[in-house]
Amino acid sequence: MATFTATDDNFTAEILGADKPVLLDFWAEWCGPCKQMSPALEELSEEMDGKIIVAKLNIEDSPETAVKFHIRGVPTLMIVKGGEVVATRSGAMTKSKLAEWLGEHA
């Protein structure tokens, strides 16, 4: 399954209301490290299909959610379980580090 596109409009229902843990990537088109991480997020989405949801939220297209979660830099990654943020990391991460971090919190 490809990554899910989160927006201000679908955030509450699809991310906070998800029945699985969500790895949420706050990103921007102009962000080099965000673009570098994109393939790793796509691969994790495929590999962990059915176990987690990998979602991406463009902070320029959905500024309300970015402000609500106090996003000050991108990429910022969050793990959301049961409607609550259980972990947050800022900065780019390799696929192996993402998987390790998910294993600790998802």
Catalytic positions are 31, 34
DSSP states of 43-93 as a string? HHHHHTBTTBEEEEEETTT-HHHHHHTT--SSSEEEEEETTEEEEEEES--
CB 58 within 8 A of CB 30: no
82 contacts 25 by C-beta, under 8 angstroms: no
Q: SS3 of 39, please?
A: helix
